Protein backbone atom coordinates (compact mmCIF):
# COMPACT_ATOMS: atom_id res chain seq x y z
CA UNK A 1 0.00 0.00 0.00
CA UNK A 2 2.81 2.41 0.83
CA UNK A 3 4.65 1.57 -2.39
CA UNK A 4 1.65 2.45 -4.57
CA UNK A 5 1.14 5.73 -2.73
CA UNK A 6 4.81 6.68 -3.17
CA UNK A 7 4.58 5.90 -6.90
CA UNK A 8 1.45 8.04 -7.25
CA UNK A 9 3.08 10.91 -5.37
CA UNK A 10 6.23 10.71 -7.49
CA UNK A 11 4.20 10.44 -10.69
CA UNK A 12 2.17 13.54 -9.77
CA UNK A 13 5.34 15.43 -8.85
CA UNK A 14 6.94 14.48 -12.19
CA UNK A 15 3.75 15.51 -14.01
CA UNK A 16 3.72 18.91 -12.30
CA UNK A 17 7.41 19.43 -13.02
CA UNK A 18 6.90 18.46 -16.68
CA UNK A 19 3.98 20.86 -17.02
CA UNK A 20 5.97 23.62 -15.34
CA UNK A 21 8.85 23.15 -17.78
CA UNK A 22 6.50 23.10 -20.76
CA UNK A 23 4.79 26.26 -19.52
CA UNK A 24 8.25 27.85 -19.04
CA UNK A 25 9.13 27.09 -22.68
CA UNK A 26 5.74 28.25 -23.98
CA UNK A 27 6.12 31.59 -22.21
CA UNK A 28 9.60 32.14 -23.63
CA UNK A 29 8.52 31.07 -27.11
CA UNK A 30 5.55 33.47 -26.99
CA UNK A 31 7.82 36.33 -25.93
CA UNK A 32 10.15 35.54 -28.83
CA UNK A 33 7.27 35.37 -31.31
CA UNK A 34 5.97 38.75 -30.13
CA UNK A 35 9.46 40.21 -30.51
CA UNK A 36 9.62 38.68 -34.00
CA UNK A 37 6.27 40.24 -34.94
CA UNK A 38 7.48 43.64 -33.73
CA UNK A 39 10.69 43.22 -35.73
CA UNK A 40 8.76 42.23 -38.89
CA UNK A 41 6.46 45.22 -38.47
CA UNK A 42 9.49 47.50 -38.09
CA UNK A 43 11.14 46.02 -41.21
CA UNK A 44 7.99 46.55 -43.26
CA UNK A 45 7.22 49.98 -41.80
CA UNK A 46 10.72 51.34 -42.47
CA UNK A 47 11.07 49.55 -45.84
CA UNK A 48 14.37 48.11 -44.63
CA UNK A 49 16.33 46.60 -47.54
CA UNK A 50 13.34 47.47 -49.79
CA UNK A 51 11.39 44.62 -48.16
CA UNK A 52 8.05 46.43 -48.23
CA UNK A 53 8.56 47.33 -51.89
CA UNK A 54 9.38 43.72 -52.75
CA UNK A 55 6.49 42.25 -50.75
CA UNK A 56 3.74 44.60 -51.86
CA UNK A 57 4.96 45.05 -55.43
CA UNK A 58 3.88 41.59 -56.59
CA UNK A 59 0.55 39.91 -57.09
CA UNK A 60 -1.67 38.74 -54.23
CA UNK A 61 -0.28 35.21 -54.08
CA UNK A 62 3.34 36.36 -54.14
CA UNK A 63 2.64 38.89 -51.38
CA UNK A 64 0.95 36.26 -49.24
CA UNK A 65 3.77 33.76 -49.66
CA UNK A 66 6.41 36.45 -49.05
CA UNK A 67 4.73 37.68 -45.87
CA UNK A 68 4.30 34.12 -44.64
CA UNK A 69 7.96 33.33 -45.24
CA UNK A 70 9.18 36.57 -43.65
CA UNK A 71 6.97 36.40 -40.57
CA UNK A 72 7.24 32.62 -40.16
CA UNK A 73 11.00 32.48 -40.38
CA UNK A 74 11.62 35.54 -38.19
CA UNK A 75 9.09 34.50 -35.52
CA UNK A 76 10.37 30.91 -35.53
CA UNK A 77 13.93 32.10 -35.10
CA UNK A 78 13.13 34.65 -32.39
CA UNK A 79 10.95 32.11 -30.52
CA UNK A 80 13.68 29.47 -30.63
CA UNK A 81 16.33 31.92 -29.46
CA UNK A 82 14.09 33.09 -26.59
CA UNK A 83 13.57 29.48 -25.45
CA UNK A 84 17.31 28.77 -25.69
CA UNK A 85 18.15 31.87 -23.65
CA UNK A 86 15.57 30.86 -21.04
CA UNK A 87 17.05 27.37 -20.78
CA UNK A 88 20.60 28.69 -20.53
CA UNK A 89 19.59 31.05 -17.74
CA UNK A 90 18.21 28.20 -15.59
CA UNK A 91 21.57 27.04 -14.24
CA UNK A 92 24.05 28.92 -12.13
CA UNK A 93 27.48 28.41 -10.64
CA UNK A 94 26.11 26.48 -7.66
CA UNK A 95 25.10 23.64 -9.99
CA UNK A 96 28.75 22.73 -10.66
CA UNK A 97 31.04 24.36 -8.06
CA UNK A 98 34.08 22.43 -9.33
CA UNK A 99 33.71 23.66 -12.93
CA UNK A 100 35.60 26.70 -14.16
CA UNK A 101 33.36 29.04 -16.11
* Mean of the per-residue pLDDT values of the chain: 86
Domain ranges for the chain: 24-90
Which pLDDT value is given to residue 93? 67
Q: Are 36 and 75 in contact (CB under 8 A)?
A: yes
How far is it, in rounded angstroms, from Cα 22 to Cα 87?
11
Which pLDDT value is given to residue 41? 97
Which stretches in the chain have pLDDT values below 70?
1-9, 92-93, 95-97, 99-101
Which pLDDT value is given to residue 8? 63
Which pLDDT value is given to residue 45? 97
Count CB neighbours of 92 within 10 A: 8
Q: Are 84 and 29 in contact (CB under 8 A)?
A: no
Amino acid sequence: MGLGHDHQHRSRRDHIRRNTLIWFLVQHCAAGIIAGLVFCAAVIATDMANMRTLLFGGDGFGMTVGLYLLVGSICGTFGSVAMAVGIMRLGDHRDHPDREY
